[in-house]
């Protein structure tokens, strides 16, 4: 008789747990990673600040005119910003119509991207949300 009561109680408990949503919530789902776009025209980026999800990439496109050489750093000067993806030795040079996509930004934080050719007008702040 005890065995039958145990089975009934177990079955009722299992039914209630499943009906109420099953297993406990494991927490929020991670943000969707995606490829963000930044356009370079003339001597400016199309935005001064971009906020992206951790693990996402940024595709830079030079849409007209002058070439651009983009690096991690500020005011046209390269700097070591721990956690920023590698822009290569000397940066990435893009002529009109060319694109380049970064590796994923895997570290949350605030980073800086600049053009060595247009250091006073081409500065981009990248905010990576974790």
Whole-model pTM: value is: 0.75
78 bridge partner residues: 73
Residue 124 in any domain: the answer is yes
Residue 23 in any domain: the answer is no
Across residues 18-46, what is the average pLDDT? 69
Give backbone dihedrals phi and psi of 104, rounded to 5 degrees, phi first.
-60, 140
Separation CA 5–CA 31 (nearest Å): 46
Say whether 124 sits in a helix, a strand or coil. strand
Tens of pLDDT, residues 52-66 = 999 999 999 998 778
Tens of pLDDT, residues 74-125 = 999 999 999 999 999 999 999 999 999 999 999 999 999 999 999 999 999 9
Separation CA 60–CA 98 (nearest Å): 8
> What does each C-alpha distance from 56 to 9, 51, 70, 86, 106 come to in angstroms?
48, 10, 18, 14, 8
CATH value at residue 119: 2.60.40.420
Number of folded domains that form the chain: 1
Residue 9 in any domain: the answer is no
Give me the domain span that covers residue 86. 35-129
| Buried/exposed code over 101-116 (b: 16+ C-beta within 10 A; e: otherwise) | ebebbeeeeebbbbbb
Tens of pLDDT, residues 10-19 = 444 444 434 4
**Pick from 67, 70, 50: nearest CA to 114:** 70
């Amino acid at each position: 008789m005890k065995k039958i009561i145990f089975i009934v109680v177990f079955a009722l408990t299992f039914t209630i747990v499943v009906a109420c949503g099953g297993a406990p919530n494991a927490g929020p789902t991670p943000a969707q990673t995606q490829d963000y776009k930044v356009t370079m025209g003339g001597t400016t980026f199309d935005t001064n600040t971009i906020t992206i999800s951790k693990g996402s990439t940024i595709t830079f496109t030079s849409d007209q005119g002058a070439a651009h050489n983009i690096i991690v750093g500020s005011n046209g000067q390269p700097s070591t910003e721990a956690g920023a993806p590698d822009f290569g030795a000397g940066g990435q040079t893009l002529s009109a119509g060319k694109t380049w996509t970064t590796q994923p930004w895997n570290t949350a934080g605030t980073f800086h991207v600049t053009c060595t050719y247009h250091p006073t007008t081409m500065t981009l702040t990248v905010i990576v949300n974790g």
